Chain A
C-alpha cells in the first residue's frame, strides 16, 4: 500500500511535465488576476494582452515539445488514466492555441468596445475557456471529462452575463439554468455508467465490453445522459437553445473564440466516445441516432439563421449549423472522416475569426451589429467589405475557398462511409449537407447584400474605415483560407506526418 502511494506519487510528479502547457495557462490566470488588480489606466488592456500573448507563446512552445514527445511514442496515458495524450489531442490543442492568438489580436482591435472596467475578467474568462478546452481534448476518463467541461461552462456562464445589462443578465441566468441541468444529467449518467462497469476510463476495452454485455435500454439511457452534456457544449440540436442569446450579449472577440474552441473540445470527446461505442455491437444504431441529430442540427441552425436581423445572433445559428457539419465527419465512422473534421475545424477557425474580426472593425462605423446598418459599405471601404465577403463565401463553401475543400472532404467521407458500410443515414447526411449549403446562402450573403446593393440611410454620416494593421491580419487570414483551397495537401501532409490514431470500427 505504502509502495503504491509513493509509486503513484512518483508517477504524478513525472507526469507533471507532460501537462506543462496547461500549467502555464493556469499560472497565467493568476498573473492576470494580480496584474489586473495592481494596474490602472489606459495602458491596462494593452499590458494584459501582452502578458497573455507571451504566456500563450510559452504554452505553445511547450505544446510543441509535447508533440515531439508523442512522435516517439504514439500515445501516452498519464495521470493514471485521466489524460490520454495522443496526436489527435495535440492537433486540436494547436488549433485552440491558434484560436487564442487570434483572440488576443481581436481583443486589441476591440479594446475600445469591451467594457472599460472589466478587462481583467474578460481575459480570465478567456483563459478559463482555453484551459478547459485543452483538457477536454485529452480527457479519457469520465470524471476528467466532467471537470474540463465544467471549467469551460463556469467561465462561459460569466461570459453570458458579460454585458451587465438586464438582457444579458437574463440570458446568463437562462444559460446557467440550462447548463446546471445538463451538468447534473451528465453526472447522473456518469454515475450510472460507473455502476455498470466499475470504471470511468471510457477508452479501455473493458469498459465497452461490460456495456455490451448489458441490455440495451439502461445502457442507452445512461449514455444518452452523458452525451447530452457533450452535445450541450457543442450546441447540437436539441441542446442548442442557449447559443444565440449568449452570442448577442457578449463581446465579439470572446464570441469568436467561444464559437470555435469549446465546440471543438466537445467534438474531440464526442469523437473518442463515439468511436469507442462503435467498437462493439450493442444492438443500438449509434450512427443512426447521431446522424439524425446532425441532420436536425444543420437544418435547425440554418433555418433559424434565416430570420435573424442581427449579425452576432446570425453567427450564433451559423455555429449551430457548423456543429452539424462537423458531426457528419465523425458519424461517417472512418479515418477519412476524422481527417475531414480536422480540416474543417481548421478552416472554420480561420473563417469564423475573419468574419468576427470584420464585424468588430465595422462596429464603430455601423454603431451596432444590426445587419441593415452594413448598407453601403462596399462603396465606403471596399477592401474590408471584400474580406468579409470572402469569409462568408468560405462559410457557404463556394470555391475558391478553404470552406469548399473542407466541405468536399466532409461529404466525401460520409459518401465513402455509405458505399463501404451501406448505412443509409450517411447518404441522407450528404443530401442534407448539400441542401443546407443552399439554405445557408440566404443568410450568409445578407451582409454582403446590404453592403453592395443598399445605400446607407440618409443623414447618417459614414466614416471610412482605416485600421491598416487589422486589415493586414484579415488579409493573412484570407490567404490561409485560399491556401487551404489551392493546396489542401500541405495541411494534410502535416496531419499525415503526425500519424494520428483512428480508433474507430475497423473497416
Chain B
C-alpha cells in the first residue's frame, strides 16, 4: 500500500485543486508542500520497513527479492491466436531503487519549497508539478515494463509545459527540444518493449492456463521448469501462452519463448547483429538520451538554462536518474549479455561524457550552463561504473546517482539564488561575493567541493567506487581495458578546475557587481532558502562520512546483480554466438 500511496498522493491532491478557483494562491502552495511532504514521510516509512543485511531478500531478478511488493492484475488481453497479454500493476523496491526513491522524495520536497518563488499561473504550475512528482516516483518503483514506460513517458508532458511556460526567454525552443530528444529515447525503449513482450512468457500463468499448474501457490520450481520444457518442446499451443510485461520475469532467460525474436535459438540477424544485442543497444541509447550521454546531451544545457529553478532541480536531481536507473534495471537487468558485449562502448561513452562535459563546463560563462555541463560530466561516471560490471562499479554508479541528485539540487538552487536577486547568471558579472553574503558562500563551498570530489563529502565516494570498479574490471572480468579509467581520471582534474575557478571568480577577490542596481538586492540566505539548503547539506555530509548509509541498502542487490547477472549474461552470450 505504501508505495502506491507515494505514487498517488499527488494525484489525489491534483484532483482536489482542479476544482479550486485560480486565485487561491496560498492554498496551491500549501498543497504543493503538503503533498511532497507526505511523499517524503511515506518514503522514509518505506525505508524503515526495508530489511537489509544478511538474511534480507536480495537480488534483482526474482520477485521474492523485492520488498513492499504490491501486485495486482491490471490488463488481460486475449489476442486470439497470438496468445494473451498480461499487464500487471507491480510496484516494489530493491536495493537499487530504494536509495533513489528516498533521494527523489527529498528533492521533490525541496523543489516544492523552492516553488514558492513561482509568481505566474500558479494553479497550472501546481497541477503539472503534482503530475511530475507522481510519475517520477512511479518510475523508480514500477516492476512491470508497461507501467514503467507509462511513468517514464508521462514525465515528458508536464516537463514540456513547465519549461515552456514558466521558463526563460528561449524556453519554447528548449521545451520542444527537450520533448523531442526524450521522446526519441522513449520510442527506442518502446520498440524493445514490444519485442520483449512478444518474446517472453509467464510460466506460472501459462502453466495454469494449460492445466499443468493448479494454483499460484503450487508453482514450485520443478513445476515451472516442466512448463518451460513443454513450451520449449512446442507442446503448448501458441494461443495458450501467456505473454507478460513483468520485468522480473523477463530477467530470467528461461522465460523467453524459443524461436521468438529476442529468444536464444534465433539465427536471425538484424543489421548484422543478434536481435538481443541490438535490443540492448536500443535500450542503452534510449536511456542514454535521458541520462544524458555525449553526444545525445545537447537538450540538457538548453532545458536547464531556460527552466525555472525548482524544475531545474527536479530535472537534474531526478529525471536524469531515471535514465541511469533504466539502464541498470532494464538494459542490464534483462540483457546482461548486451552489457558484457558492449561494455567497451558504454565505458568509452562514459569517458567521453566525463571529459567533454567537463571541458564545456570550463568554458561556460553562464553559471547555470556550467552546472548543466557538470551534470553531463558526472553522469559519465555512472556509465563508467556500469560498464565495469563489478560490485564496486555498480555500487559506485548507484551512489553517484544518489549523490548527484542531492548535489545538483543544491547547485541549481545556488544558481536560482543569484538569478532571483539580479536576473543575471553570468559568472563574470560578480566578484568577491564571499564578503557580502557569507552564509550563502559557505553553502556554495560545500556544494562545489562535494561536486569536485573532496573526501568526506558525498561526491567523492561515488567517484572513488566507480574508479575502484573500473580499474578492477581489468583483473576481475576483463570487460574494460585499463586505459579507459586512466583517461577518465583527467575528468576529476577538470572538475576541480572549473568548480574552483568559478568559486574564485565569483566569490573571492574584491567585492564587485556589474550593475549598481543589483546592490540592494544582494541579501544573504532567508529562512526559506535556509530550509532548502540545510537538509541537502546534511544529506551530502552524512552519506559522505558514512557511505554505508547508502551501501548497506544497495549491497545485497548489487552483489546478486553482479554475480548472477554476469553469469547469466556470459551464458546468454554463449548461446547467441553459438549459432
A: residues with CB less than 8 A from B are: 334-336, 339, 378-379, 382, 393, 398-400, 408, 411-413, 415-416, 418-419, 422, 427, 430-431, 434-435, 437-438, 441-442, 445, 449, 452-453, 487-489, 492-493, 496, 502, 507
Looking across the interface, which residue of chain A has its beta carbon closest to that of B161?
Answer: A452
- Shortest C-beta distance, A490 to chain B (Å), equals 10
In this complex, the member of A400, A445, A493, A502 whose beta carbon has the largest number of chain B beta carbons within 10 angstroms is A445
CA–CA, A412 and B184, complex, Å: 18
Cβ contacts under 8 Å, A339 to chain B: 79-80
Q: Is the CB of A412 within 8 A of B198?
A: yes
Q: Is the CB of A507 within 8 A of B81?
A: yes
**Segment at the A interface, from B146-154, B377-385, B415-423, B539-547:** B146-154
Q: Is the CB of A452 within 8 A of B164?
A: yes
In this assembly, does B124 line the interface, its C-beta being within 8 Å of a C-beta of chain A?
yes
CA–CA, A434 and B76, complex, Å: 24
In this assembly, does B179 line the interface, its C-beta being within 8 Å of a C-beta of chain A?
yes
Q: Is the CB of B180 within 8 A of A441?
A: yes
Cβ contacts under 8 Å, B1 to chain A: none
Q: Is the CB of A399 within 8 A of B154?
A: yes
CA–CA, A488 and B84, complex, Å: 13
CA–CA, A430 and B268, complex, Å: 17
> 16 more A-B contacts (CB under 8 A) besides A339-B79, A398-B154?
A335-B80, A400-B150, A400-B154, A411-B194, A412-B194, A412-B198, A427-B270, A430-B191, A431-B191, A438-B187, A445-B160, A453-B171, A489-B76, A489-B77, A492-B78, A493-B78
- Of the A-B pairs whose beta carbons lie under 8 Å apart in the complex, a sample of 11, sorted by A's number, is A412-B198, A419-B198, A430-B194, A437-B187, A438-B187, A449-B172, A449-B176, A489-B75, A492-B78, A502-B80, A507-B81
Q: Is the CB of A438 within 8 A of B184?
A: yes
**A336 interface neighbour in B82, B161, B197, B260, Cβ under 8 Å:** B82
The 3 A-B residue pairs with the shortest CB-CB distance, nearest first, are: A336-B82, A419-B261, A399-B150
CA–CA, A399 and B150, complex, Å: 6
Cβ contacts under 8 Å, A400 to chain B: 150, 154
In this assembly, does B468 line the interface, its C-beta being within 8 Å of a C-beta of chain A?
no
- Shortest C-beta distance, A33 to chain B (Å), equals 45
Q: Is the CB of A487 within 8 A of B183?
A: no
**A434 interface neighbour in B149, B187, B199, Cβ under 8 Å:** B187
Q: Is the CB of B187 within 8 A of A441?
A: no
List which B130-182 residues lie within 8 A (CB) of chain A.
149-150, 153-154, 156-157, 160-161, 164-165, 171-172, 175-176, 179-180
- Known contacts A434-B191, A441-B183, A415 near B150 by CB under 8 Å: no
- Shortest C-beta distance, B258 to chain A (Å), equals 12
Cβ contacts under 8 Å, B160 to chain A: 445
Q: Is the CB of A453 within 8 A of B165?
A: yes
Q: Is the CB of B194 within 8 A of A334?
A: no
Q: Is the CB of A418 within 8 A of B261?
A: yes
Cβ contacts under 8 Å, A379 to chain B: 121
Looking across the interface, which residue of chain A has its beta carbon closest to that of B146?
Answer: A408
Q: Is the CB of B82 within 8 A of A416?
A: yes
In this assembly, does B190 line the interface, its C-beta being within 8 Å of a C-beta of chain A?
yes
- Shortest C-beta distance, B272 to chain A (Å), equals 14
- Shortest C-beta distance, A482 to chain B (Å), equals 13
Cβ contacts under 8 Å, A418 to chain B: 261
Cβ contacts under 8 Å, A378 to chain B: 124
CA–CA, A434 and B150, complex, Å: 16
- Known contacts A441-B180, A487-B75, A412 near B80 by CB under 8 Å: no
- Shortest C-beta distance, A191 to chain B (Å), equals 37
Q: Is the CB of A419 within 8 A of B161?
A: no
Cβ contacts under 8 Å, B190 to chain A: 408, 434
List which B86-108 residues lie within 8 A (CB) of chain A.
none
User: How many chain B residues touch the partner (CB < 8 A)?
Assistant: 40
Say whether chain B's binding surface is mostly helix, strand, loop, or mixed: helix
- Shortest C-beta distance, B4 to chain A (Å), equals 15
Cβ contacts under 8 Å, B176 to chain A: 442, 445, 449
- Shortest C-beta distance, A117 to chain B (Å), equals 43
CA–CA, A38 and B320, complex, Å: 68
CA–CA, A168 and B523, complex, Å: 66
Cβ contacts under 8 Å, B270 to chain A: 427
Q: Is the CB of A336 within 8 A of B81?
A: yes
Q: Is the CB of B172 within 8 A of A488?
A: no
Q: Is the CB of A496 within 8 A of B161?
A: no
**B153 interface neighbour in A335, A399, A430, A435, Cβ under 8 Å:** A399
Q: Is the CB of B124 within 8 A of A336?
A: no
- Shortest C-beta distance, B479 to chain A (Å), equals 30
Cβ contacts under 8 Å, B184 to chain A: 438
Q: Is the CB of A496 within 8 A of B78?
A: yes
In this assembly, does B195 line the interface, its C-beta being within 8 Å of a C-beta of chain A?
yes
- Known contacts A335-B82, A393-B157, A431-B191, A416 near B164 by CB under 8 Å: no
CA–CA, A399 and B186, complex, Å: 11
Q: Is the CB of B75 within 8 A of A412?
A: no
Looking across the interface, which residue of chain A has its beta carbon closest to that of B152?
Answer: A399
Cβ contacts under 8 Å, A412 to chain B: 194, 197-198
CA–CA, A214 and B279, complex, Å: 43
Q: Is the CB of B78 within 8 A of A334?
A: no
Looking across the interface, which residue of chain B has its beta carbon closest to that of A439?
Answer: B180
- Known contacts A382-B124, A453-B165, A496-B78, A415 near B261 by CB under 8 Å: yes
Q: Is the CB of A398 within 8 A of B82?
A: no
- Shortest C-beta distance, A235 to chain B (Å), equals 25
Looking across the interface, which residue of chain A has its beta carbon closest to that of B238?
Answer: A507
Cβ contacts under 8 Å, B78 to chain A: 489, 492-493, 496
CA–CA, A133 and B124, complex, Å: 43
Cβ contacts under 8 Å, B121 to chain A: 379
- Shortest C-beta distance, B278 to chain A (Å), equals 11
- Shortest C-beta distance, B508 to chain A (Å), equals 41
In this complex, the member of A419, A453, A489 whose beta carbon has the largest number of chain B beta carbons within 10 angstroms is A419
- Shortest C-beta distance, A176 to chain B (Å), equals 40
Looking across the interface, which residue of chain B has its beta carbon closest to that of A493?
Answer: B78
Looking across the interface, which residue of chain A has its beta carbon closest to that of B262?
Answer: A419
- Known contacts A334-B81, A382-B124, A441-B183, A398 near B172 by CB under 8 Å: no
Cβ contacts under 8 Å, A399 to chain B: 149-150, 153-154
Q: Is the CB of B81 within 8 A of A335?
A: yes
CA–CA, A400 and B131, complex, Å: 12
**B82 interface neighbour in A334, A435, A487, A493, Cβ under 8 Å:** A334
CA–CA, A492 and B85, complex, Å: 12
- Shortest C-beta distance, A438 to chain B (Å), equals 6
- Known contacts A438-B184, A441-B183, A415 near B81 by CB under 8 Å: no
Looking across the interface, which residue of chain A has its beta carbon closest to that of B73?
Answer: A489
Cβ contacts under 8 Å, A408 to chain B: 190, 194
- Shortest C-beta distance, B199 to chain A (Å), equals 8
CA–CA, A461 and B153, complex, Å: 37
CA–CA, A399 and B124, complex, Å: 20
- Shortest C-beta distance, B145 to chain A (Å), equals 12
Looking across the interface, which residue of chain B has its beta carbon closest to that of A412?
Answer: B194
List which B380-394 residues lie within 8 A (CB) of chain A.
none
In this complex, the member of B75, B79, B199 whose beta carbon has the largest number of chain A beta carbons within 10 angstroms is B79
- Shortest C-beta distance, A379 to chain B (Å), equals 8
- Shortest C-beta distance, B164 to chain A (Å), equals 5
Cβ contacts under 8 Å, B149 to chain A: 399
CA–CA, A416 and B81, complex, Å: 11
Looking across the interface, which residue of chain B has its beta carbon closest to that of A507?
Answer: B81
CA–CA, A4 and B201, complex, Å: 57
CA–CA, A379 and B199, complex, Å: 47
CA–CA, A413 and B197, complex, Å: 12
Cβ contacts under 8 Å, B150 to chain A: 399-400
CA–CA, A165 and B542, complex, Å: 75
- Shortest C-beta distance, A493 to chain B (Å), equals 8
Cβ contacts under 8 Å, A502 to chain B: 80
CA–CA, A419 and B197, complex, Å: 12
- Shortest C-beta distance, B357 to chain A (Å), equals 26
CA–CA, A496 and B77, complex, Å: 10
In this complex, the member of B80, B121, B184, B270 whose beta carbon has the largest number of chain A beta carbons within 10 angstroms is B80
**A398 interface neighbour in B157, B164, B268, Cβ under 8 Å:** B157
CA–CA, A434 and B161, complex, Å: 23
Looking across the interface, which residue of chain A has its beta carbon closest to that of B150?
Answer: A399
